[in-house]
Structure 1
Amino acid sequence: MTVIVAGKLYVNPAERGRFLEGHRCIVEAARSHPGCLDLSISPDPIEPGRVNNFEHWESQEALDAFRAVAPRPSVSVAVDGDQVLKHEISHTGPPFG
C-alpha cells in the first residue's frame, strides 16, 4: 500500500531559509533511498513562515526503513505548529478523466 505523508508546518519567517537548508540532507537522502517515490520540503509561496512537506513512499516498510537511517537536520529551528498527516493509499489513478 502506497504511503503519503503531507502537510504544512510553521517556523519563524526569519528562520525559514535556515530550516529548509538544514533539511536538505534529508531530502537528498530520501530521494536516493529505495522505495521513495518523491520527497519535498519546500517554502510556501504565500505564507512567509509556512513550510510544505510532501513524501510519497512505495510502502510503510520503505518509509520505516528510511526513518531508521535518515540523517538529522543540520540545524535546529523551532517549529511553531504543524498539520502533517500520513495517508495510506489503496488505489491510485490519473487526476483527470
Structure 2
Amino acid sequence: MLIIAGRIRVDERDRDAYVADCRRVVEQARRAPGCLDFGITADPLVPDRVNIYERWASDDALARFRGAGPGDDLGSRIREADVHRYRIASVEDP
C-alpha cells in the first residue's frame, strides 16, 4: 500500500478556487481501481495551504491513475510543494 501525503501552497486568494477546481481530479481518483482514499482539502489555519492525501493499493494502481488522470493547469498554480510517497508495510487498527 502507498500513501501520498503532504501539502502544497498556492496563492491565498486562489486557494478555495484551486480546491474547487480539483473536484474532478478527486472524483476521478476515487473511481479509479486501486484507489483506497483521495482528498485535496483547504487547510483551516493557513490561507495558502492545501492538504494532499492519497492512499493506493499498489504502485500499478497509482501509475494507471497518473497516466489517465485529467490534464489541466492545476500544476501551474502550485507555488510550493512538500508531498511525499510512503510505502506501508502493515496496517493495524488503533
TM-score by length of 1: 0.90
Q: Name the counterpart of 1:68.
A: 67
Identity %: 35
Is there any run of 5+ residues in structure 1 with no aligned partner, and where?
none
Is there any run of 5+ residues in structure 2 with no aligned partner, and where?
none
Deviations 1:32-76 (A, max 9, x none): 111000000000010011000000000111000111100124656
Q: Which has the higher strand share?
A: 1
TM-score by length of 2: 0.92
Q: Name the counterpart of 1:17.
A: 16
CA distance in 2, matches of 1:8, 1:75: 14
Is 1:56 matched up with 2:55?
Answer: yes
Distance 1:8 1:42, change over 3 A: same
Distance 1:85 1:76, change over 3 A: closer
Q: Which has the higher helix share?
A: 2
Q: Name the counterpart of 1:93.
A: 92
Query: What is the RMSD of the two structures over their aligned residues, measured on CA atoms?
Result: 1.4
Q: Count residues with an aligned counterpart.
A: 94
